[in-house]
Amino acid sequence: MSDQTTLQTVLTVAAALVGVGLFGALSQQSIVMVMMGLELVVNGVMLGAGAAWFFLTPDLPDAQMLVVIALVVMAVEMAMGFAATIAIYRARQVDMVDMATDLHG
């Protein structure tokens, strides 16, 4: 299998992740499900960026390290988001996006 076919396959999977995540983020009302959809979108973008850098410049590992650092930052961000969601639920018993509209600044 050639590099071009493999790159196209990985970019297709990345586009599918972005599409499914976007659908999940826009169609759900549960805060946790919206966050999971956004997580899929970001993972799809990172997969596509990492694959493009890997196949276009395989001799430079700097870009792949940037993707790993971005994934670690994203994981910390999602952990903080889930902690905020749990705090909102414990304080107000709110678990749906529509019920949390009074939280905007």
Tokens describing residue 92: 């107000």
Measured between alpha carbons, how far is 94 from 74 in angstroms, rounded to an integer?
A: 24
19 has a pLDDT exceeding 90: yes
Model confidence at 41, in pLDDT bands (50, 70, 90)? very high
Q: Is the pLDDT at 15 greater than 60, yes or no?
A: yes
Q: Are 13 and 50 in contact (CB under 8 A)?
A: no
Q: Cα separation of 13 and 98, whole Å?
A: 32
**Looking at the domain 3-96, which fold is it?**
Helix Hairpins (1.10.287)
pTM, two decimal places: 0.77
User: 52-103: per-residue pLDDT in tens?
Assistant: 888 888 787 777 788 888 888 888 888 888 888 888 888 888 777 766 666 6
Residues constituting the chain: 105
Domain spans, the chain: 3-96
Longest pairwise C-alpha distance within the chain: 55
